[in-house]
Every structure is written in structure tokens, then in C-alpha cells.
């Protein structure tokens, strides 16, 4: 595998990553308050675009405290102001320091920059990683990440973090609606730290999904669009599909 030159994935990638061109569909989120399924948490969102903005907004409405961050602080301030006192805005470093749990939701080409910019703040922290390597968008590094496997590659870019890969192959519009009454679908996750899974589980349930652990970081290669686990499946269907992939 060709080694990714992280120096080429410089700050400009991160500057484009988190907020530019990411108009949110927050208006479509349920306006009613949600009851958090677990203890209230402080969550730092790194990348408040379609996915990060949607998930963070649902968590705010479930009663968690959320700090949104991107490279467009004014965007984050407006988003936070629209959500009430449990939401705030800051820089990525401020969000990383704020959160007991972090959500990293940026284009995959920005992960090397994220790791460099907040690396000293994420040692031992739980990170929910939604980012996917998409070659048409992220270029050569995405090809290399897919060859290695997205879970294993993310662990290299975010060293020392306790990663849970989740929300990787469901559209953000569905994430906004999943907490409404109706069938509860499963959410496949890949992780290697039991405590990280324990912390992420109620947050995933707050969005409206039942988390299903399919394996460690190596299984992260199946948590991307175009794989058998993409889309929405019942928890039992996820278990059956995952069993055929091992």
C-alpha cells in the first residue's frame, strides 16, 4: 500500500472540510424535545456540515450539551443560536477540549489535518467517526484508505483516540427522521474499546437507531456506502449480513 503523504493533505483540506458548501437541512428536524436515552453528555462536533450538523442538532434536542465547530465560526454560531442554550460554537480545538465524546464528520481527506490539529487533545477520548474515504472526492488517499480499511486508516490518522465508526452509510436526511415513532433500524458500528461502545450506545439510540457491534476496526471497511451493510436494516439483518463478511 502506498503511504499517504499527510503533509500534502494540509490545512487547506481542513479549511474546506468542515463547513464550506454545507447548507444544513436542520429545518427538517423534529422540533419536539427528545428524551436522552442515557446520561446527559458534553459532545464536541468537529465538522458541522450535513451529517455533523444533523446529528449534533438531534443530540441537543435530546438534552445533551453540544459544541459545533468547523472553519466557519459564524455558521456554527447561527446553528447554535437556532438550537437554544444547550448548543454553542467554537473552534475545532475548543470543541475537542469541550467534549467528553467527539463526533468527527469531515471529508476523509481532512482527517490527517484533523489529527494534526487536535491530536494532543484526543488521547484517550471517544470519537464517533462518520467519515468515509470517497475516491472521487478525496483522491488518492481515499483509495489507500479503502485498501487498508476505513476503520484501520482512521485509527492511524487519529492516534490514541478510542474510535467508534458509526453513521457511515445512512443519509443525513434519514438520520434527521430516525427518532420519530416507527420501526427502529439497526446501526452497524465497528470499535475495539468496550467503554467507547458503552458511551456511544445511548447517543446512537438518541438518533433513533439500535447499535449493533459488528467487530473491530478491521470491519470498518464494510461501513461505507456500496457495501452490504450500507442503508437501513433491522438489527437482526445486520448481524446476519456481518456474519457473512467475517
What are the structural domains, with CATH classification, of the chain? 11-245 (3.40.50.720)
pLDDT band at residue 34, thresholds of 50, 70 and 90? Answer: low
pLDDT band at residue 7, thresholds of 50, 70 and 90? Answer: very low
DSSP the chain: -PPP-TTTS-HHHHHHHSSTT----GGGS--S----SS---EEEEE--SHHHHHHHHHHHHTT-EEEEESS-HHHHHHHHHHH-TTEEEE-HHHHHHH-SEEEE-S-GGGHHHHHHHHGGG-TT-EEEE-----HHHHTHHHHHHHHH-HHHHHHHHSTT-EEEE-S-SS-HHHHHHTTSSSPPPEEEEEES-HHHHHHHHHHHHHHT-EEEEEESGGGGGGSSTTSTT-S-B-HHHHHHHHHHH-
Mean pLDDT over the full length of the chain: 88
Say if residues 6 and 145 touch (Cβ distance below 8 Å): no
**Contacts of residue 229, Cβ cutoff 8 Å, sequence gap at least 6:** 169, 188, 214, 222, 223, 238, 241, 242, 245
For residues 221-237, average pLDDT: 95
pLDDT band at residue 97, thresholds of 50, 70 and 90? Answer: very high
Say if residues 205 and 37 touch (Cβ distance below 8 Å): yes
Q: What are phi and psi of 76, to 5 degrees?
A: -65, -35
d(CA 14, CA 124): 22
pLDDT digits (tens, 9 = 90+) for 109-127: 999 999 999 999 999 999 9
Say if residues 53 and 61 touch (Cβ distance below 8 Å): no
pLDDT beyond 70 at 40: yes
Q: Which three cell numbers stand for residue 150?
A: 476505513
pLDDT digits (tens, 9 = 90+) for 146-156: 999 999 999 99
For residues 116-139, average pLDDT: 96
d(CA 28, CA 218): 35
pLDDT beyond 50 at 8: no
Question: What pLDDT score does 35 carry?
Answer: 63
Question: What pLDDT score does 20 carry?
Answer: 38
Q: Which three cell numbers stand for residue 53?
A: 450538523
pLDDT beyond 50 at 28: no
For residues 217-236, average pLDDT: 96
More confident residue, 25 or 50: 50
pLDDT digits (tens, 9 = 90+) for 159-212: 999 999 999 989 999 999 998 888 899 999 999 999 999 999 999 999 999 999
Say if residues 93 and 118 touch (Cβ distance below 8 Å): yes
pLDDT beyond 90 at 37: no
Amino acid at each position: 500500500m502506498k503511504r499517504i503523504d499527510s503533509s500534502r493533505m494540509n490545512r487547506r483540506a481542513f479549511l474546506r472540510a468542515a463547513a464550506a458548501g454545507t447548507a444544513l437541512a436542520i429545518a427538517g428536524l423534529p422540533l419536539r424535545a427528545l428524551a436522552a436515552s442515557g446520561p446527559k453528555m458534553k459532545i464536541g462536533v468537529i465538522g458541522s456540515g450535513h451529517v455533523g450538523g444533523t446529528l449534533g442538532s438531534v443530540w441537543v434536542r435530546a438534552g445533551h450539551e453540544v459544541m459545533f465547530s468547523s472553519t466557519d465560526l459564524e455558521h456554527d454560531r447561527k446553528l447554535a443560536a437556532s438550537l437554544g442554550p444547550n448548543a454553542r460554537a467554537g473552534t475545532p480545538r475548543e470543541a475537542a477540549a469541550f467534549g467528553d465524546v467527539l463526533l468527527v464528520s469531515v471529508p476523509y481527506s481532512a482527517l490527517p489535518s484533523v489529527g494534526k490539529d487536535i491530536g494532543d487533545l484526543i488521547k484517550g477520548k471517544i470519537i464517533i467517526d462518520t467519515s468515509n474515504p470517497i475516491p472521487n472526492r478525496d483522491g488518492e488517499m481515499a483509495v489507500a484508505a479503502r485498501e487498508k480499511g476505513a476503520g484501520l486508516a482512521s485509527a492511524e490518522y487519529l492516534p490514541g483516540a478510542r474510535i467508534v465508526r458509526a453513521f457511515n452509510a445512512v443519509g443525513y436526511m434519514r438520520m434527521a427522521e430516525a427518532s420519530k415513532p416507527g420501526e427502529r433500524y439497526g446501526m452497524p458500528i465497528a470499535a475495539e474499546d468496550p467503554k467507547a461502545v458503552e458511551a456511544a450506545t445511548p447517543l446512537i439510540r438518541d438518533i433513533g437507531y439500535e447499535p449493533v457491534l459488528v467487530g473491530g476496526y478491521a470491519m470498518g471497511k464494510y461501513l461505507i456506502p456500496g457495501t452490504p451493510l450500507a442503508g437501513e436494516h433491522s438489527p437482526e439483518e445486520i448481524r446476519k449480513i456481518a456474519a457473512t463478511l467475517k
